Amino acid sequence: MESLRDVLIEELRDLYDAEKQLVKALPKMAKAAGNEDLRTAFENHLEETKGHVQRLEQAFELLEEKAKSKPCEAMKGLIAEGSETMEEDFSEPLLDSAIICAAQKVEHYEIAGYGTVAAWSRALGLENVAELLEQTLEEEKAADEKLTEVAGGIIAEAGAAASSDEEEEGDTVGVGSAQKKGSSNRSSPDNKSKRRTG
Ligand SMILES: [Fe+2]
Ligand SMILES: [Fe+2]
């Protein structure tokens, strides 16, 4: 017979896989970010994410369960969408904004997952497991807030650049500018066309 404990373990296995996928994805997101604060935010969250993997391993240990992962299709999809975004031919502030959107979807998935497993652990009287999960939950929330803050800065900067462009023809790229920046540090794939003729 299935119990809440079984459901908890299933969900922890999903999160364990999700976190391990993120350990691989976050360096790519950091590399794709043009804005320095954004890159730093991803690099910092990568370190935290490695800690999330370890906390889950500790949780399995406390539960006397093997640390096993269950393929997290949702995270796979979120990361795939994020990768598509990173290949878009947008100017830097727009690309960064779109990457932040993808990253915040990931954080919200994690917040939902950890909020639930922490609550279930409390309900089961597993206080030490709950504490571990709540620590991670707080870091996910802080990461989400940091991204909101960085996004605001990017939009404000791009907006200011766009209006100073209008006033004195500055050389910065603003929101809405179709101009492509040659200095962007992302690779530009040359096989972007989805349709093939022939
Ligand atoms: Fe995480
Ligand atoms: Fe996260």
Which ligand minimizes its atom distance to the CA of 107?
2
pLDDT at 27: 98
Query: Does the pLDDT of residue 176 top 80, yes or no?
Result: no
Q: Helices 92-123 and 73-86 sit at what angle, rounded to 10 degrees?
A: 170
Q: How far is the CA of 19 from the centre of ligand 1 (A)?
A: 5
Distance 149 CA to ligand 1 centre (A): 19
Q: How many helices (H) and strands (E) does the chain have?
A: 5, 0
Tens digit of each residue's pLDDT (9 = 90 or more) over 75-102: 999 999 999 999 999 999 999 999 999 9
Interval 180-190: pLDDT, tens: 444 444 444 44
Least confident of 61-70, 133-142, 152-161: 152-161
Which residues fall within 8 angstroms of residue 197, CB to CB, at 6 or more apart?
Answer: none
Looking at residue 162, its pLDDT comes to 78
Show me where the domains of the chain are located.
4-165
Specify the residue for token string 């949780």: 59
Q: How far apart are CA 126 and CA 137, in angstroms?
A: 16
The number of the ligand nearest the C-alpha atom of 147 reads 2
> What is the 111 CA–ligand 2 centroid distance (Å)?
8
pLDDT digit string, tens, across residues 6-56: 999 999 999 999 999 999 999 999 999 999 999 999 999 999 999 999 999
Q: With respect to CATH, is domain 4-165 assigned 2.40.50.140?
A: no
Average pLDDT for 59-63 = 98
